[in-house]
Structure 1
C-alpha cells in the first residue's frame, strides 16, 4: 500500500460484455461475453489486491452487482460514450478530482495480471513526476499507462506503444503476464498457458471438449 501522501488508483474501461471480444468470432456470443466478464474481473482483482483504489468506466449494467459479489471494492463511472481513450480520460479526471495523485490505466483483458506485478510496476516507475507505459506482448500495443502528478493523456488502440513513446511516456519492463492481453484465439491460448486468474480459469474449464 502507498502512503497517505500518494493515493494510487487504477482506471479500467469495460465495454458492455455483449459487445466485447468481437475478434474471438469462433466463440458463441454467450461464451465471448462470459470470457470478457471473467478477464475484466481477474484484471480488477489484481489491481485491488495490490491495494489500489479502482474506478471502472462502463455501460455494462450487470457489472456493479457482479463485482460486489466477488468482493471487489469498485467505484463505477458511466461511460461517456466516446472511445476507449475518452473513457480513460474521464476516469482519470474523476480520480484526480477526488484525491488520486498516481493513476494507472489498465486494459480490461489482462487475465494473467497478479498483484505483485502491479506493485512491481509502481516500484519501477520510481517516485518522480511523469508518465510510463507497458508495451503489449507484440511491442505494438499498450497494456498499462501510468501517470504520476500529471494527466494520463492516453493513446490506446492500434499502434499505441509508439504513440505513447512519442508523447513523452517512458517504457517500463514488465513480466509476461502484464504484457499478455487477449484479442484473439492465439493470444487466449498463450494467456492460458501462462496462467490466468480464477474467473478466467473457471471459464476455460467449462469449455466444450
Structure 2
C-alpha cells in the first residue's frame, strides 16, 4: 500500500477494455512518452500488464492487484470524513496542490494520502486536473466550508532603529541653603528623629543637664578659688 499514490488511482480508473498504450496519452492530457512512462511505472508496481498483439498496438489491462486497489479506494470513499481528510483539505487550502507535497507536509504514507484524496474527490470536496503526468488539486465549495479559510499570521511590527542616542539631561546643580535654612532643616531632622525614638530624647536631655550642671559647678568653683 505504501507504493500506491493518487496518480496511480487516477490512471487505473481511466483504463478501459481495449485501451492501448499508443492512444492513452490524450486520456490523461499527456504526451505519448509521458503516458508510456506512467504506465511503465504502474506495471512495475504490478497494477497493470501489457498484452502485445504484434504487429498491432500494445493493449493495457488492469491486474487483480490493480483492481483490488480500486475496490479498496471505493470502499474507503464511503466512510465519513475524518481528521486526516480535514488535514488534507487544510493543506490544499494553504496551497499544497500536489499530492506529494501533502504527503511530505503531513508525513503520512503515500497510500493513505492517495485513498483519502480519492475519498474527498468522490464526496465532492476536492477536484483535480491532470496534465503532463502531474496532478493538481483544488478544493470545492463544500471542501472549503469544511475547513474554512486558513489563518493568516499577523506580521510582527517593524521596529525602526535610527541610530540616534537620546541625549541625557545635564545633572541638576545642588541647591544652596542659607544659614537659617540649614538650621531649620537640622531642627526638623532632629524633631522627626526624636518623634520616632522618644527614649533617645530623654537620654540626650539628661546628658545635656549633666553637662550644664558640671559646667556650672566648675565655674562656681573657680570663682570661689579666686
Whether TM exceeds 0.5 here: the answer is no
Larger radius of gyration: 2
| Coarse TM-score class (shorter-chain normalised) | under 0.3
Task: Give the structure with the higher percent helix.
Answer: 2
Task: Give the structure with the higher percent strand.
Answer: 1
